[in-house]
Structure 1
Amino acid sequence: KKEQEEQQKKDEIEKAKQAKKKQLEDMQLKQQQVVPEEVDDIGQDPKSVYLKLIGIFDIAAMDSNGKSDPYIKVFFDGNQIGKTKKVGNTLNAEYNEEFKFDFDPKTTNARRILLELWDHDTFSDDDQIGKVELRLKNYLNVKKTDQTKFIGADRNVGKDDVGTLDFELEVKSKDQKGPSPQVVVAERKIKQKQIQQQVEEPSSSSTGQVAQRKTKQAITTQQVVPEEIDDIGKEPKSVYLKLIGIFDIAAMDSNGKSDPYIKVFFDGKQIGKTKKVKNALNAEYNEEFKFDFDPKTTNARRILLELWDYDTIGDNDQIGKVELRLKNYLNVKKTDQTKFIGADQNVGKDDVGTLDFELQVKNK
């Protein structure tokens, strides 16, 4: 009789598991369906989709150790396209995994990619942390590096941020050859305001102090007003930039210090970023950035630098920004100096850090 009772309990547990699994599957399919009257117009020609999941940070903790073992599932039109690797014991995970698929808009109403964030469990069922949908219309014929937040699912229902995802997405017609007509880097919509043109004229010289590296990605947009385009010739160019160091940084933390790092942008794309330096108002980087561009295919003529303060718990804070005008460094390597002007909570301040750098622009 005891054995029968134990077996009955096991059967009930298994039945509950299966019911939960079926409920999750039904939910996945339901989430992916698009109501006909809401179907986005993305044209009738067959489409190719490219998705790169770069990484995720600030993940909700699901395990007793205050961590999670996150991975992401990718769905389209009710089908699982794939999933990322699992990363153990972390609240930040880097993937850099690509997913590609084709579909015909004439045979399905699906117009969104569904992403599900899961926590892997070794001895029991995996737990869903959150979900988010990516609307394909927003990435039609343009490759964007973007950012979005997962909203809570299952026991996290009601939470509107259980992880922030950095990703790259492009949707294009299958017969479209070569690169997309444009490359846009999307603005992070949490604390950043759109960058407006600010031109800093450099002066000259040196100095700085120590450092370390950073993860989260918050991306912003650089625009060049057509009538301000500098004449730097039509030949393809190579750009060399060395960020030597920065001093007199505005204090952003309660201890009177900052954890500074610098992001480098050109033509709306993030070229790279420096390591971060903890608890400092002076930071030494000595980091080099190199890239090429064709003046005939872009109006961009300035490098945008953003100075950021890294925060372990909350969102990172932008301290300031400055632009380097390429024309001033054409066919000559200069060691120079410029000041960051305040951004976000520092708007109105005309000196939130002084940068020593080296820059050269030359024909390829």
Structure 2
Amino acid sequence: TGASDPYCIVKIDDEAIIRTATVWKTLSPFWGEEYEVQLQPNFHSVSIYVMDEDALSRDDVIGKVCITRDMLAEHPKGYSGWVSLSEVDPDEEVQGEIHLRVEVQGKQGDRRLLCCTVLEARDLARKDRNGASDPFVRLRYNGKAQESTVVKKSCYPRWNETFKFELAEPAGEKLCVEVWDWDLVGRNDFLGKVVFSVPGLEAAGQEEGWFRLRPEKSKLKDDEAPGEGSTQSPAGAPTLLWLGHVCPLRPSRPGTCPHQDGQVHLVTLLDETTTAECRQEVAINLVKLFLGQGLVKEFLDLLFELELAKPCEPNTLFRSNSLASKSMESFLKVTGMPYLHAVLGPTITRVFEEKKYVELDPGKVEIKDVGCSGLHRVQTEGEVIEQGRQHLQSYLDELLDTMVRSAPACPPVIRAAFRRLSQRVGERFPQHQHTKFVAVTSFLCLRFFSPAIMTPKLFHLRDTHADARTSRTLLLLAK
């Protein structure tokens, strides 16, 4: 189709903790989701994988972004910005830990041995189709290699095997402990490694513990401690990192950015440079973004201010497809759907169930659709129209009464937005106080209630589309 169905998976080190919603059929997805995550003091990185959902086969990995602990430490006020996706290398995608005991045996000047006991591993990557792996360990030192036995179908293998190498003089080589997934057909899969500095082992005498497996391409620096990657926890309480601290999206004022000549309104640029076709998508993304940051009222107020600064007539306010109109329309759909269902639901259900004939246009009246009002007498055109008018009036009275009584049930965030809109319009047109009511109803009725009445299925008020007669009734009711 030329598009993808992207979603994101967030991993802390090797543990997947978040999966976002899937955005269907797009190459420019927007999520606007925010999470709070409790991190252990010894965490290493936060990785975000962008995936392409596939209903018929395994989901594809589009790319990933890895934010290390050091990167976050360098940005105490938050980490924000566009980051290029990196291609995912299978040899880089490792997880899990291995329990090792490594020591140097013998005295200086005598024949000495480098001994490594491989005890067990945990949470290894699942490389086989059965949902597990067949892990074994390969140890390399001074040009020689030894391997452990293969443990079949396990991500938590136990070996308890000891391997010995004759220590080279001087002991400048590194000991590399690699974990592999054994495959009968094809090449073995890399599961991770731990690298030890032998001079460091000589100084320490012995190292034992759980060590985090590292990717194939990682390099151990000369000044790093032996067994770098250990997951033994340092002292200190757990740290709570808010995603808002990692990805802050709070500008000094929504929709503005610093410029050498002062403040430039980004929303003005968006309004002027986007086409009518894509403005709806821009609006919904901005609304979700500022809703997630708790700034949607300020964002909409800025749009009202900029829109009212343009030359406009009191009776045609917000009638165009401007960014302000589209954003307010999207805002109502995102925040007000339960309210809309409560207001319109009973009347829409009644119209669908009664299926009464309603027509007010004499040119469209069909007598055969209404039958006879009495024995041997067909209704006149005027009688049909009057009967339809009464039906329509009944629906309209019920709907308006429900709308008037629904004010307390209207979501507070919508009431606050309408209150600010009314104030802005009243300040702009002090001589036309009725205009502020026109502005509010133009959004609530023309852009929210009326479209839902005409096409209730699109607003999830009904499971199926209306037939021709019911559609005509709904159209007249919406008008």
User: Could you tell me the TM-score, scaled by structure 1's length?
Assistant: 0.29
Structure number with higher helix proportion: 2
- The structure whose Rg is larger is 2
Structure number with higher strand proportion: 1
RCO (CA 8 Å, sep 6+): is it higher in 1 or 2? 1
User: Could you tell me the TM-score, scaled by structure 2's length?
Assistant: 0.23
